[in-house]
Structure 1
Protein backbone atom coordinates (compact mmCIF):
# COMPACT_ATOMS: atom_id res chain seq x y z
CA UNK A 1 0.00 0.00 0.00
CA UNK A 2 1.45 3.38 -0.96
CA UNK A 3 0.58 7.03 -1.12
CA UNK A 4 1.03 6.97 -4.90
CA UNK A 5 -1.70 4.35 -5.28
CA UNK A 6 -3.96 6.23 -2.87
CA UNK A 7 -3.64 9.61 -4.57
CA UNK A 8 -4.21 8.06 -8.00
CA UNK A 9 -7.35 6.40 -6.65
CA UNK A 10 -8.59 9.60 -5.05
CA UNK A 11 -7.99 11.73 -8.13
CA UNK A 12 -9.57 9.00 -10.28
CA UNK A 13 -12.66 9.15 -8.07
CA UNK A 14 -12.78 12.95 -8.25
CA UNK A 15 -12.29 12.94 -12.03
CA UNK A 16 -15.08 10.46 -12.64
CA UNK A 17 -17.33 12.28 -10.22
CA UNK A 18 -16.81 15.54 -12.08
CA UNK A 19 -17.29 13.92 -15.49
CA UNK A 20 -20.61 12.35 -14.49
CA UNK A 21 -21.69 15.59 -12.79
CA UNK A 22 -21.16 17.33 -16.14
CA UNK A 23 -23.24 14.71 -17.95
CA UNK A 24 -26.02 14.82 -15.35
CA UNK A 25 -26.30 18.60 -15.23
CA UNK A 26 -26.23 18.90 -19.01
CA UNK A 27 -29.18 16.51 -19.14
CA UNK A 28 -30.97 18.20 -16.23
CA UNK A 29 -30.83 21.56 -17.98
CA UNK A 30 -33.58 20.21 -20.22
CA UNK A 31 -35.88 20.01 -17.18
CA UNK A 32 -35.69 23.76 -16.61
CA UNK A 33 -39.04 25.54 -17.07
CA UNK A 34 -37.37 28.80 -18.17
CA UNK A 35 -34.54 29.82 -20.46
CA UNK A 36 -32.75 31.44 -17.53
CA UNK A 37 -32.89 28.19 -15.58
CA UNK A 38 -31.66 26.24 -18.57
CA UNK A 39 -28.70 28.60 -18.96
CA UNK A 40 -27.86 28.48 -15.25
CA UNK A 41 -27.75 24.68 -15.12
CA UNK A 42 -25.86 24.49 -18.41
CA UNK A 43 -23.29 26.84 -16.85
CA UNK A 44 -23.01 24.52 -13.87
CA UNK A 45 -22.36 21.63 -16.27
CA UNK A 46 -19.63 23.57 -18.08
CA UNK A 47 -17.91 24.31 -14.75
CA UNK A 48 -17.97 20.61 -13.84
CA UNK A 49 -16.30 19.68 -17.13
CA UNK A 50 -13.59 22.27 -16.53
CA UNK A 51 -12.99 20.69 -13.13
CA UNK A 52 -12.75 17.27 -14.75
CA UNK A 53 -10.06 18.49 -17.13
CA UNK A 54 -7.98 19.91 -14.28
CA UNK A 55 -8.04 16.64 -12.37
CA UNK A 56 -7.40 14.61 -15.52
CA UNK A 57 -4.34 16.73 -16.27
CA UNK A 58 -3.02 16.23 -12.73
CA UNK A 59 -3.35 12.47 -13.11
CA UNK A 60 -1.35 12.68 -16.32
CA UNK A 61 1.33 14.74 -14.55
CA UNK A 62 1.61 11.97 -11.96
CA UNK A 63 2.21 9.42 -14.71
CA UNK A 64 -1.20 7.78 -14.36
CA UNK A 65 -3.63 6.92 -17.15
CA UNK A 66 -6.78 8.96 -16.34
CA UNK A 67 -9.13 6.38 -17.85
CA UNK A 68 -7.58 3.54 -15.83
CA UNK A 69 -7.65 5.68 -12.69
CA UNK A 70 -11.38 6.39 -13.11
CA UNK A 71 -12.44 2.86 -14.06
CA UNK A 72 -12.72 1.38 -10.51
CA UNK A 73 -15.20 4.10 -9.53
CA UNK A 74 -17.51 3.94 -12.51
CA UNK A 75 -19.85 1.33 -11.00
CA UNK A 76 -20.46 2.96 -7.58
CA UNK A 77 -20.75 6.50 -8.97
CA UNK A 78 -23.08 5.33 -11.72
CA UNK A 79 -25.12 3.42 -9.12
CA UNK A 80 -25.49 6.60 -7.06
CA UNK A 81 -26.87 8.50 -10.03
CA UNK A 82 -29.06 5.58 -11.11
CA UNK A 83 -30.65 5.43 -7.66
CA UNK A 84 -31.12 9.19 -7.40
CA UNK A 85 -32.61 10.12 -10.74
CA UNK A 86 -34.65 13.33 -10.30
CA UNK A 87 -38.26 13.16 -11.43
CA UNK A 88 -38.46 16.86 -12.15
CA UNK A 89 -36.88 20.28 -12.03
CA UNK A 90 -37.00 20.83 -8.26
CA UNK A 91 -35.59 17.39 -7.47
CA UNK A 92 -32.75 18.05 -9.92
CA UNK A 93 -31.95 21.34 -8.15
CA UNK A 94 -31.98 19.71 -4.70
CA UNK A 95 -29.70 16.94 -5.95
CA UNK A 96 -27.31 19.46 -7.48
CA UNK A 97 -27.14 21.38 -4.20
CA UNK A 98 -27.14 18.52 -1.69
CA UNK A 99 -25.25 15.93 -3.72
CA UNK A 100 -22.57 18.19 -5.13
CA UNK A 101 -21.88 20.08 -1.92
CA UNK A 102 -21.73 16.83 0.06
CA UNK A 103 -19.16 15.61 -2.45
CA UNK A 104 -17.24 18.86 -2.07
CA UNK A 105 -17.13 18.42 1.71
CA UNK A 106 -15.75 14.92 1.23
CA UNK A 107 -13.07 16.19 -1.17
CA UNK A 108 -12.13 18.95 1.26
CA UNK A 109 -11.65 16.48 4.09
CA UNK A 110 -9.40 14.22 2.02
CA UNK A 111 -7.40 17.09 0.52
CA UNK A 112 -5.68 17.61 3.88
CA UNK A 113 -3.62 14.47 3.26
CA UNK A 114 -2.55 15.26 -0.31
CA UNK A 115 0.69 16.66 -1.67
CA UNK A 116 0.57 20.43 -2.30
CA UNK A 117 0.14 20.17 -6.09
CA UNK A 118 -2.71 17.66 -5.89
CA UNK A 119 -4.31 19.58 -3.03
CA UNK A 120 -4.32 22.77 -5.12
CA UNK A 121 -6.08 20.97 -7.98
CA UNK A 122 -8.73 19.49 -5.68
CA UNK A 123 -9.32 22.82 -3.94
CA UNK A 124 -9.86 24.37 -7.38
CA UNK A 125 -12.65 21.86 -7.96
CA UNK A 126 -14.34 23.10 -4.79
CA UNK A 127 -14.77 26.72 -5.83
CA UNK A 128 -18.35 27.95 -5.69
CA UNK A 129 -19.18 29.80 -8.90
CA UNK A 130 -22.35 31.26 -7.43
CA UNK A 131 -24.65 28.45 -8.51
CA UNK A 132 -25.63 27.55 -4.94
CA UNK A 133 -27.43 30.86 -4.52
CA UNK A 134 -29.43 30.18 -7.68
CA UNK A 135 -30.58 26.77 -6.41
CA UNK A 136 -31.49 28.03 -2.93
CA UNK A 137 -33.49 30.93 -4.35
CA UNK A 138 -35.55 28.74 -6.68
CA UNK A 139 -36.21 25.93 -4.21
CA UNK A 140 -37.26 28.26 -1.41
CA UNK A 141 -39.49 30.23 -3.79
CA UNK A 142 -41.19 27.01 -4.90
CA UNK A 143 -41.78 25.96 -1.28
CA UNK A 144 -43.23 29.37 -0.43
CA UNK A 145 -45.61 29.04 -3.35
CA UNK A 146 -46.59 25.46 -2.46
CA UNK A 147 -45.56 24.45 1.10
CA UNK A 148 -46.75 20.87 0.56
CA UNK A 149 -43.76 20.06 -1.63
CA UNK A 150 -41.34 20.63 1.27
CA UNK A 151 -42.02 17.18 2.73
CA UNK A 152 -41.38 15.42 -0.56
CA UNK A 153 -38.18 17.34 -1.19
CA UNK A 154 -36.98 16.67 2.37
CA UNK A 155 -37.39 12.92 1.79
CA UNK A 156 -35.53 13.32 -1.49
CA UNK A 157 -32.64 15.09 0.24
CA UNK A 158 -32.38 12.32 2.83
CA UNK A 159 -32.41 9.71 0.07
CA UNK A 160 -29.50 11.44 -1.65
CA UNK A 161 -27.50 11.50 1.58
CA UNK A 162 -28.21 7.84 2.32
CA UNK A 163 -27.27 6.67 -1.16
CA UNK A 164 -24.05 8.71 -1.10
CA UNK A 165 -22.99 7.08 2.18
CA UNK A 166 -23.86 3.62 0.84
CA UNK A 167 -21.71 4.01 -2.26
CA UNK A 168 -18.87 5.56 -0.24
CA UNK A 169 -18.83 2.45 1.93
CA UNK A 170 -18.65 0.24 -1.16
CA UNK A 171 -15.68 2.22 -2.44
CA UNK A 172 -13.84 2.12 0.89
CA UNK A 173 -14.34 -1.64 1.13
CA UNK A 174 -12.76 -2.22 -2.29
CA UNK A 175 -9.93 0.33 -2.38
CA UNK A 176 -7.72 -0.22 0.65
CA UNK A 177 -5.15 2.48 -0.14
CA UNK A 178 -7.84 5.10 -0.70
CA UNK A 179 -9.59 4.10 2.54
CA UNK A 180 -6.29 4.48 4.40
CA UNK A 181 -5.78 7.94 2.90
CA UNK A 182 -9.26 9.05 3.93
CA UNK A 183 -8.66 7.73 7.45
CA UNK A 184 -5.48 9.78 7.74
CA UNK A 185 -3.37 6.62 7.89
CA UNK A 186 -1.60 7.36 4.64
CA UNK A 187 -0.51 10.79 3.49
CA UNK A 188 2.02 12.60 1.35
CA UNK A 189 5.56 12.57 2.79
CA UNK A 190 5.47 16.36 3.18
CA UNK A 191 1.99 16.41 4.75
CA UNK A 192 2.16 17.34 8.45
CA UNK A 193 -1.47 16.47 9.29
CA UNK A 194 -1.49 14.24 12.36
CA UNK A 195 -2.97 10.78 12.04
CA UNK A 196 -5.92 10.11 14.33
CA UNK A 197 -8.28 7.16 13.95
CA UNK A 198 -10.99 9.11 15.74
CA UNK A 199 -10.91 11.57 12.83
CA UNK A 200 -12.86 9.13 10.67
CA UNK A 201 -15.87 9.31 12.96
CA UNK A 202 -15.47 13.05 13.32
CA UNK A 203 -15.36 13.44 9.56
CA UNK A 204 -18.64 11.55 9.13
CA UNK A 205 -20.19 13.69 11.86
CA UNK A 206 -19.07 16.87 10.12
CA UNK A 207 -20.47 15.67 6.78
CA UNK A 208 -23.80 14.81 8.38
CA UNK A 209 -24.03 18.13 10.22
CA UNK A 210 -23.20 20.05 7.05
CA UNK A 211 -25.92 18.12 5.22
CA UNK A 212 -28.44 19.13 7.89
CA UNK A 213 -27.40 22.76 7.60
CA UNK A 214 -27.82 22.73 3.84
CA UNK A 215 -31.23 21.14 4.08
CA UNK A 216 -32.23 23.96 6.44
CA UNK A 217 -30.87 26.52 3.99
CA UNK A 218 -33.17 25.08 1.35
CA UNK A 219 -36.10 25.33 3.77
CA UNK A 220 -36.22 21.56 4.30
CA UNK A 221 -35.93 19.41 7.40
CA UNK A 222 -33.04 16.98 7.68
Structure 2
Protein backbone atom coordinates (compact mmCIF):
# COMPACT_ATOMS: atom_id res chain seq x y z
CA UNK A 1 0.00 0.00 0.00
CA UNK A 2 1.31 3.43 -0.91
CA UNK A 3 1.41 5.87 1.97
CA UNK A 4 -0.41 9.17 1.61
CA UNK A 5 2.09 12.06 1.40
CA UNK A 6 2.01 14.17 4.60
CA UNK A 7 0.91 17.32 2.83
CA UNK A 8 -2.19 15.54 1.54
CA UNK A 9 -3.25 13.97 4.82
CA UNK A 10 -6.74 14.98 5.90
CA UNK A 11 -8.88 14.21 8.88
CA UNK A 12 -11.79 12.05 7.68
CA UNK A 13 -14.09 13.94 10.05
CA UNK A 14 -13.08 17.29 8.61
CA UNK A 15 -12.66 16.73 4.85
CA UNK A 16 -10.67 19.42 3.10
CA UNK A 17 -8.45 20.31 6.05
CA UNK A 18 -4.96 19.38 4.91
CA UNK A 19 -1.70 19.17 6.81
CA UNK A 20 -0.40 22.21 4.91
CA UNK A 21 -3.28 24.43 6.05
CA UNK A 22 -1.66 27.66 7.36
CA UNK A 23 -3.69 27.39 10.52
CA UNK A 24 -1.72 24.28 11.50
CA UNK A 25 1.51 26.28 11.52
CA UNK A 26 -0.17 29.03 13.53
CA UNK A 27 -1.48 26.55 16.08
CA UNK A 28 1.95 24.96 16.52
CA UNK A 29 3.49 28.42 16.95
CA UNK A 30 0.87 29.45 19.51
CA UNK A 31 1.42 26.26 21.46
CA UNK A 32 5.20 26.68 21.30
CA UNK A 33 5.08 30.12 22.87
CA UNK A 34 2.66 28.84 25.47
CA UNK A 35 5.12 26.12 26.47
CA UNK A 36 8.03 28.56 26.79
CA UNK A 37 5.90 31.01 28.79
CA UNK A 38 4.76 28.18 31.06
CA UNK A 39 8.35 27.10 31.65
CA UNK A 40 9.38 30.54 32.90
CA UNK A 41 6.17 30.92 34.92
CA UNK A 42 6.67 27.59 36.68
CA UNK A 43 10.31 28.24 37.47
CA UNK A 44 9.39 31.64 38.92
CA UNK A 45 6.50 30.25 40.95
CA UNK A 46 8.61 27.38 42.26
CA UNK A 47 10.34 29.99 44.43
CA UNK A 48 7.01 30.52 46.23
CA UNK A 49 6.89 26.91 47.39
CA UNK A 50 7.07 26.53 51.18
CA UNK A 51 9.23 23.41 50.96
CA UNK A 52 11.65 21.50 48.76
CA UNK A 53 9.00 19.01 47.62
CA UNK A 54 6.91 21.80 46.13
CA UNK A 55 9.90 23.31 44.36
CA UNK A 56 10.84 19.93 42.90
CA UNK A 57 7.30 19.30 41.65
CA UNK A 58 7.16 22.69 39.96
CA UNK A 59 10.60 22.16 38.45
CA UNK A 60 9.50 18.78 37.05
CA UNK A 61 6.48 20.40 35.43
CA UNK A 62 8.70 23.13 33.96
CA UNK A 63 11.01 20.51 32.48
CA UNK A 64 8.02 18.82 30.83
CA UNK A 65 6.99 22.14 29.28
CA UNK A 66 10.39 22.51 27.60
CA UNK A 67 10.21 18.95 26.28
CA UNK A 68 6.85 19.79 24.74
CA UNK A 69 8.29 23.00 23.28
CA UNK A 70 11.01 20.96 21.57
CA UNK A 71 8.39 18.68 20.02
CA UNK A 72 6.63 21.72 18.56
CA UNK A 73 9.90 23.29 17.41
CA UNK A 74 10.72 20.08 15.55
CA UNK A 75 7.24 19.94 14.02
CA UNK A 76 7.58 23.53 12.79
CA UNK A 77 11.05 22.87 11.39
CA UNK A 78 9.66 19.95 9.42
CA UNK A 79 7.27 22.47 7.89
CA UNK A 80 10.17 24.80 7.05
CA UNK A 81 9.19 27.35 9.71
CA UNK A 82 11.57 29.16 12.09
CA UNK A 83 9.99 28.72 15.51
CA UNK A 84 11.14 31.98 17.14
CA UNK A 85 9.59 34.55 14.78
CA UNK A 86 6.53 32.34 14.32
CA UNK A 87 5.74 32.04 18.00
CA UNK A 88 6.66 35.63 18.86
CA UNK A 89 3.46 36.76 17.10
CA UNK A 90 1.53 35.30 20.04
CA UNK A 91 3.61 36.85 22.79
CA UNK A 92 1.25 39.75 23.48
CA UNK A 93 -1.90 37.73 24.15
CA UNK A 94 -0.23 35.08 26.28
CA UNK A 95 1.89 37.49 28.28
CA UNK A 96 -1.18 39.61 28.89
CA UNK A 97 -3.01 36.59 30.33
CA UNK A 98 -0.12 35.80 32.66
CA UNK A 99 0.22 39.46 33.67
CA UNK A 100 -3.45 39.61 34.60
CA UNK A 101 -3.32 36.33 36.51
CA UNK A 102 -0.07 36.65 38.44
CA UNK A 103 -0.51 34.65 41.66
CA UNK A 104 0.26 36.33 44.96
CA UNK A 105 0.47 33.17 47.08
CA UNK A 106 1.69 29.61 46.70
CA UNK A 107 -1.88 28.27 46.75
CA UNK A 108 -2.91 30.69 43.99
CA UNK A 109 0.07 29.48 41.97
CA UNK A 110 -1.05 25.88 42.42
CA UNK A 111 -4.63 26.63 41.37
CA UNK A 112 -3.41 28.50 38.30
CA UNK A 113 -1.15 25.61 37.38
CA UNK A 114 -4.01 23.14 37.60
CA UNK A 115 -7.01 25.14 36.39
CA UNK A 116 -5.37 27.63 34.04
CA UNK A 117 -3.31 25.05 32.18
CA UNK A 118 -6.32 22.75 31.89
CA UNK A 119 -8.39 25.55 30.34
CA UNK A 120 -5.65 26.16 27.79
CA UNK A 121 -5.54 22.46 27.00
CA UNK A 122 -9.31 22.44 26.46
CA UNK A 123 -8.92 25.26 23.95
CA UNK A 124 -6.12 23.60 21.99
CA UNK A 125 -7.68 20.14 21.99
CA UNK A 126 -10.91 21.58 20.64
CA UNK A 127 -9.00 22.95 17.67
CA UNK A 128 -7.13 19.64 17.35
CA UNK A 129 -10.43 17.98 16.46
CA UNK A 130 -10.35 19.96 13.21
CA UNK A 131 -6.81 18.86 12.30
CA UNK A 132 -5.55 16.14 10.01
CA UNK A 133 -4.36 13.10 11.94
CA UNK A 134 -0.64 13.89 11.75
CA UNK A 135 -1.02 17.40 13.16
CA UNK A 136 -3.60 16.31 15.73
CA UNK A 137 -1.19 13.70 17.08
CA UNK A 138 1.43 16.40 17.71
CA UNK A 139 -1.04 18.59 19.60
CA UNK A 140 -2.32 15.71 21.72
CA UNK A 141 1.20 14.54 22.55
CA UNK A 142 2.14 18.05 23.67
CA UNK A 143 -0.95 18.30 25.86
CA UNK A 144 -0.78 14.78 27.26
CA UNK A 145 -1.21 14.49 31.02
CA UNK A 146 2.16 14.03 32.66
CA UNK A 147 0.76 13.32 36.13
CA UNK A 148 2.91 16.06 37.66
CA UNK A 149 -0.06 18.27 38.44
CA UNK A 150 -1.71 15.68 40.69
CA UNK A 151 0.26 16.94 43.66
CA UNK A 152 -1.69 20.19 43.27
CA UNK A 153 -5.01 18.49 44.00
CA UNK A 154 -3.85 17.00 47.29
CA UNK A 155 -2.23 20.21 48.52
CA UNK A 156 -5.10 22.54 47.58
CA UNK A 157 -7.76 20.19 48.96
CA UNK A 158 -5.90 19.94 52.25
CA UNK A 159 -5.65 23.74 52.50
CA UNK A 160 -9.30 24.46 51.70
CA UNK A 161 -10.55 21.67 53.97
CA UNK A 162 -8.71 23.31 56.83
CA UNK A 163 -9.85 26.86 56.04
CA UNK A 164 -13.15 28.16 54.67
CA UNK A 165 -11.46 31.51 54.09
CA UNK A 166 -8.93 29.89 51.77
CA UNK A 167 -11.70 27.98 49.99
CA UNK A 168 -13.70 31.13 49.24
CA UNK A 169 -10.59 33.08 48.25
CA UNK A 170 -9.34 30.38 45.88
CA UNK A 171 -12.80 29.83 44.41
CA UNK A 172 -12.90 33.51 43.42
CA UNK A 173 -9.38 33.22 42.01
CA UNK A 174 -10.39 30.19 39.98
CA UNK A 175 -13.33 32.03 38.45
CA UNK A 176 -11.03 34.91 37.56
CA UNK A 177 -8.73 32.47 35.75
CA UNK A 178 -11.69 31.20 33.75
CA UNK A 179 -12.78 34.69 32.73
CA UNK A 180 -9.31 35.78 31.65
CA UNK A 181 -8.69 32.51 29.77
CA UNK A 182 -11.88 32.92 27.73
CA UNK A 183 -11.13 36.58 27.03
CA UNK A 184 -7.59 35.89 25.80
CA UNK A 185 -8.73 32.91 23.71
CA UNK A 186 -11.24 35.17 21.97
CA UNK A 187 -8.54 37.80 21.38
CA UNK A 188 -6.24 35.19 19.83
CA UNK A 189 -8.94 33.98 17.46
CA UNK A 190 -9.96 37.52 16.57
CA UNK A 191 -6.38 38.44 15.63
CA UNK A 192 -5.48 35.30 13.69
CA UNK A 193 -7.80 34.43 10.83
CA UNK A 194 -5.86 31.26 10.01
CA UNK A 195 -6.85 29.69 13.33
CA UNK A 196 -10.51 30.61 12.90
CA UNK A 197 -10.48 29.25 9.36
CA UNK A 198 -8.96 26.02 10.63
CA UNK A 199 -11.92 25.49 12.94
CA UNK A 200 -14.77 26.73 10.77
CA UNK A 201 -13.52 24.82 7.71
CA UNK A 202 -14.97 21.70 9.32
CA UNK A 203 -18.69 20.96 8.96
CA UNK A 204 -20.51 22.70 11.90
CA UNK A 205 -17.18 24.31 12.86
CA UNK A 206 -18.56 27.71 13.86
CA UNK A 207 -21.33 26.16 15.91
CA UNK A 208 -18.84 23.84 17.57
CA UNK A 209 -16.63 26.79 18.50
CA UNK A 210 -19.58 28.59 20.07
CA UNK A 211 -20.53 25.49 22.03
CA UNK A 212 -16.91 25.12 23.14
CA UNK A 213 -16.98 28.27 25.25
CA UNK A 214 -20.11 26.95 26.95
CA UNK A 215 -18.39 23.65 27.64
CA UNK A 216 -15.45 25.47 29.22
CA UNK A 217 -17.78 26.62 31.98
CA UNK A 218 -18.90 23.05 32.70
CA UNK A 219 -15.45 21.48 32.69
CA UNK A 220 -14.17 24.30 34.87
CA UNK A 221 -16.87 23.51 37.40
CA UNK A 222 -15.77 19.88 37.50
CA UNK A 223 -12.17 20.89 38.17
CA UNK A 224 -13.20 23.26 40.94
CA UNK A 225 -15.06 20.39 42.54
CA UNK A 226 -11.99 18.18 42.28
CA UNK A 227 -9.96 20.83 44.08
CA UNK A 228 -12.60 21.24 46.76
CA UNK A 229 -13.53 24.72 45.56
CA UNK A 230 -17.07 24.08 44.36
TM-score by length of 1: 0.91
Deviation at 1:185, TM superposition (A): 2.1
Which structure would you say has the larger Rg? 2
Q: 2: CA distance between counterparts of 1:169 and 1:112? A: 18
Summarize deviations over 1:155-183 as a string: whole Å, max 9, x none. Answer: 111111111111111111111111122xx
1:43-58 matches, cutoff 5 A: 43-58=60-75
| Distance in 1 separating the partners of 2:135 and 2:86 | 15
Cα shift readout 1:73-101 (whole Å, capped 9, x = no counterpart): 10010000001000010000000001101
Task: Determine helix, strand or coil for the equivalent of 2:146.
Answer: coil
The superposition leaves residues 92-128 of structure 1 with CA deviations (integer Å, 9 ceiling, x where unpaired) of: 0000001101111111111112222221111111211
Kept in 1, the 8 Å contact 2:43–2:58? The answer is: yes
C-alpha contact (below 8 Å) 2:61/2:149 kept by paired residues: no
Q: What stretches of structure 1 of length at least 5 have no aligned partner?
A: 187-192
Superposed displacement of residue 4, structure 1: 2.7
Q: Which residue of 1 aligns with 2:163?
A: 146
For 1:96, the equivalent position in structure 2 comes to 113
The one of 85, 94, 110 equivalent to 1:77 is 94
Q: 1:212 aligns with which of 216, 221, 229?
A: 221
Matched, 1:185 2:185: no
Give the number of aligned pairs.
212
| Misfit runs of 4+, over 3 Å | 193-196
Alignment of 1:121-132 (within 5 A): 121-132=138-149
1:59 — aligned with what?
76
Structure 2 Cα separation of the partners of residues 35 and 132 of structure 1: 16
Counterparts of 1:111 and 1:169 in 2: how far apart (Å)? Answer: 17
CA distance in 2, matches of 1:59, 1:73: 15
Give the equivalent residue in structure 1 for 2:9: none
SS at structure 2 position matched to 1:86: coil
Question: What stretches of structure 2 of length at least 5 have no aligned partner?
Answer: 1-17
RMSD: 1.4
